[in-house]
Structure 1
Amino acid sequence: MQNASEPSNIVDLSQRLDPSSPRGGELLNAVRGIATRRLQLCLGNLFEQVDDALFDLAEKAENNAAQMHYFDGMREVRKRRPLVERSFLAQVSRNLDDFAGKGPSAGHAPVAPPNGPTELSLVADNELEESLAITSMIGKNETRLARDLFAVNQRLSVICGGMKIDDAGNPLGPAALSQSFRQSVRELSADMRVKLIIYKLFDRYVLATLDELYQEINAELIRAGVLPQLRHEVRRGQAATDASPTGTVASAAVSDDPTADAAESEAATELLHTLRSLFQARRAHPNVPLSAMSHGPLPTANELIGALSVLQNQAATVPAPGIANRGTLDLTQEVLHLKEQLLSQLGALRGERPGQVATIDEDTIDLVGMLFEFILEDRNLPAQMQVMLARLQIPYLKAAILDRKLFAHRQHPARRLLDGLADAAKGWSTESDRDGRLLDTVKSIVERLLQEFDDDLGIFERLCAELQSFQDTTGRRAELAEQRVAESTRGREKLEQARRRAAREILTRIDGHTLPPLIHGVLSRAWANYLVLTILRQGEESHDYKDALRFVNDFIASTKPARDDEARRTLRQILPGIERSLRRGLANVAFQDNDIERLLAQLHDYYRQQLGEVAAPATPPDALAEPVALPIPDSVQPLATSAEELDEEEDGAIEMTPEASAELQLVGELRPGTWLEFTSRNETPERAKLSWISPMSGRYLFVNRRGLKVADYSPHELARALAAGQVQVLDSSALFDRAMDAIVGRLSQSADDRPTDTE
């Protein structure tokens, strides 16, 4: 028996509905009613805000002319608002009618935004500005509304005969609604600045509320039994998947972070908008126009690609300029020369030389030129690598014309390839690449792009994979070498720390005592070495280490004059322990048996004199003055002669000159993985990566790209080297990001330096 709460007319999903059928038409009419009611309300809210927004801008206008544009816009909107509203709602209704009437072919009925390179290259500046605003709104809202819009797409697919419906083909999607509003706004004769404000308000008061519209439509269709169990699972970058004949949705991966994706997309669009505005401002005060006159139709994107391919083939046959000629390259002149070559080649292909290219294409040419100008000035790149990468200007210009998103999206394959090449090149030096493998790899990638890249952007992805494979292979070898260097350095530091600890213990105990050369020599050399090795092997908390320190106390005490029977008795009691400790300790540090016996013989003679058993000689024999020395590692030096001297030795490592104090903060901010360039007098600069910071001494270890040690600095030594210009820190950010920041800064500075209209 059917539950009363269940819909009485469940849609049979095994039989798709025909939109012309009574049931399909009924459902579409319900959708139409919901959309008309909500959109009319939202549109009213939009126009209620136009006056306030334009009035605020008029008050802030930079001059009277701009102010009048806004006031004229206010009057125009008030007068023609009813016409715009009727036009918009009528266009939405027509889209729904077309959608219902054309069947499966109607999935893409609404007018799509002009996003192809050919179309963009042919529109006027104002229309391009308008297109960018529309495209930005669409992309942002399609991402934000992915969940609800996906469900609407799938349910409309079922009630409209099973045709595939994506975001662009949905008559109520952000794309269709934005294009409908664009058509309606053409009823206004207002300035483009006014229209752009209206588009922003449309985004805020209409598109921003579409989630409520979609939720109401989904709820209505669910009540009608259309895909009540639909799950939302969308691939990254994909607005919808196909609905299966049974009404279930194919499983797909959910985006890792749709919020982050939307933020990056919005930032990318904002960057392109900023660049377009800066280039437009620059064109208002041109230095060197592309051409004074235009002849014939503007070149299409296909014509540009064809002409660039010819120039690319010519460049592939020309060897790269030598390092000595790098300083003669003037990229500004090179870009102008490239434009002239391009126009000449276009003339050869079409039989008539055009006078200019479309504004957006000229901006792209300039932008790519500025990118490669940055590469030739980037101190992060060695000179050899700068010259090699500069040969990629034409392939990257082709890629930018084929896909305008190259400059906006960090994950674009062409952008990742250039970033990867620059990152690999950053650590290159002649010394670290003796076999030339890295240089040959970069050269091979450059040559392949010049020779093989036609119009298939997939080559960038393939070359990215090859470069990554090379980096992984060489990186594993370098990592092993780097680990060995770090372990070796760590071992030396432990030895040095143990040496200082042993020295401190012995010198503290000697302080205030005048010891015979024999006793002092044993403590400062042989026994100091035993203390060092005991610390390294067993630690300072071990029983053997504490016994070794007690021996130092007893050995020093044994030098006190034994002038009475009690003192002599005490001395005789401690001498056997001293001898046992010496035999065991010296044997542990590889003292030869005959050397131990010689040393003990000297000590026996000394103690017999102390006990008064033999008279002390007037002049000590050489054997007593120069005791047997223990061969010790080079890193363990004889002890300082006093505790004060040890303090001076330690304090000397942290002396700081005033001129280097500013760099000390920079040193403290360095992290492993940062690359630096070291320049010594009369030597070739060497690049090295910060590999390890010692937790014991704080010293900084640097290795080259093969993992071999290049330098080892204390923080203060490194700060002094930075202050002296012997070391430079290389930027760790990606090449493309740094280039884009520099280009925007340069264009902004140029705009600020130009005289204003009122000056």
Structure 2
Amino acid sequence: MVSLPFKNTASGKKLTASSRNALFQNLVSLVTVLCAEKIDDFSERLAQALLHLSEQSVKPTEAELSFNGFNYLRKNFSAFQKNFVQELDELLAREIRLIEQNKIGMQQHDNSDLSLVTFEEMENKVLLGNVAQSLELALGDTLSALNLRIGWILGREETTTAENPFRPQVFVEAIYQAWRKIDPAPESHRVMLHQLGPELFLPLNAIFGQLNEALVERSILPDLTEAYRKKKAENKVGLPPPKVEKRDQSKYNKVRDWLLSAGKKKSGGDAAADDLNVPDLFSLTEGGGNWNANTISVKVGPRMFVYLNNLQSQIDRMEMDGQLDPVPQSAATLRKVKEQAPPGMLTAVDENTIELLANILDFVFQEKSIPSEIKKLMGQLQIPLLKAALLDKKFFVKDDHPARRLVDTLAKCSLALDRQKGYDDPLYKMIEQIVGRVQKEFDQQMSLFDDAVSGIESLLDTGDKQSQDFLATPIAEALRQEKIGKAKEAAENDIAARLETGEVASFVEAFLETQWVRILTLAHSSKDKKPDVLAKALRTMDDLIWSVKPKASPEQRKELISRLPSILAMLNAWLNAIKWHEPERVTFFSTLAERHAAIVRMQPEASSRHQVEIAVNIAEKASSRRMRRQAAESRGKIQDEFLQMVNGLDEGSWLEFSRNNGGVARLKLAWISPQRTRFIFTNRQGEEPSLFTVEELAKSLRDRSASLVQVDSIVERALNVVLDPEQ
């Protein structure tokens, strides 16, 4: 809510009831006109969103509902738009009546009839409110300014969006009611509502801007801009800090509860943070930890780090002497710190920090997808990671924490390692040097972890750039295949459109679908350079279809006789171009000659009954063709989970492929064709590229000869397991 001391420069008098009503009626007319101009573009955006959802959704029911919704909207564009304008006009008229009765905004809070409302309707009401709220947030100052001007019209100095008859919720309600009239399925209403948002919705910012301009032209708060800016600047003083997002807040609370749990147990249940000297677990100065920052070990931090440095030196000597397992199976080193640290050196929160980090590393060391070489490097980082976590508890709640990013980056590096070379892989040796620097040098500066991550990512980027040389040839071949595939699809559509009339002779249908489709494919693939070739191929096909249609009059038969030599010459020329010399060619032309001869011969006029039978047969054939095509298109829209998985892949994704010898190859998705019909996978060096079509890749996933390698944050997965072990 915004409250400003404003003054109408036109007049200090309040509007009369009749003047106010007339003004609102004019605004309603303006809004209706503006929305009528924008509804067409909105309808198109909504249709595309529903179609995209039907192609991308992993839920079969949602995919079907969204595809059906797309069809309803496509077939009822005009009705939907007309319904919306009518609904908006009626809803705004209702709002004006409520103003006259001094009941504006009250309908939002009237829950007296909830017992008569179904659960689905209640759910839709919640969705409507959510959509309206997102639109309100996106509108910002434009809506606030309109609220103030509406408030002046109503004679109020304090106004809210709920008191504005033109609030976003009215527009959302109009869209919803208009949709219900064209789509009878209640389940799809929620699917449609979920698509609505600031980017897809009507351009309310522009519409509200024009409403503001219309009111300024009537001298209603013309100087509002400066007053509003001043008030907004004043309101910034003393504002509370921004709220933590719900997702982050939940994680924050769980980590906080974990770190404080031991203190609660020792004190009998309600030990406060003050007893542990913990004013804020997650506060930290910029740039890294230091002993003047608000950290847990502020009193004993320097002593603790000296102890950890000495322990690290001892571990290094034991590793050199071969006294330690090079590949850790658990975070035993961290637990030894908690058990063996001198008395008074660790607070209860410090001990819980160690245990939480140890649990995370236990999960990491047990992860089967991470090779032993990488686990060895992670094991070397136990002490540096502990220092980082003791200094900064945001390690557990911030995805982009430098130390946490290093663990995640190392886990992802395991995808690029050559497992056959193992410790001798040059990439491993370079990463080992980077990790060794962190192990020896880290004290309090988190930037060292950032440097390590940058160094490892630079190594991987270098490999990606080198692989481009190997990919040039397979990419060119994939682009050629994709171009031919798209050309064939266009050729099939050209033929299908002609066959759907039901008037094409059966033997010509077979010829077009088996041979002429090859000619049209070539013509479509070369149309950018030779557009006339496609036009000539289509014209020859149409001439052939025309030539086998019945000719009722002598003039039509005469025309056929005159045109037939050139038609046959063009047919033979095109067939020679694709080198179709099989015996079937002779059979086709023989059948074609018989049909032409029968057409040219004088035919007795068919009876009315026979003509009706012919017309019915043609209509049935056309209907059957259209139904088969629509069924095929529908099947193509509803994808199984494996096609959806392929459509969700991005460059950089990793898959494991089973080999015939029983082995497994881990390959990276290095390139995706522009139309996403071809995918090229390579090893880290870009060698041995493998090309897959979208269908081939989906089949590999379906029959489990390929599987997607999980590359999300290993630390996040570990935290989820540790903090919510029952999930």
What TM-score, normalized by structure 2, do the two folds share? 0.44
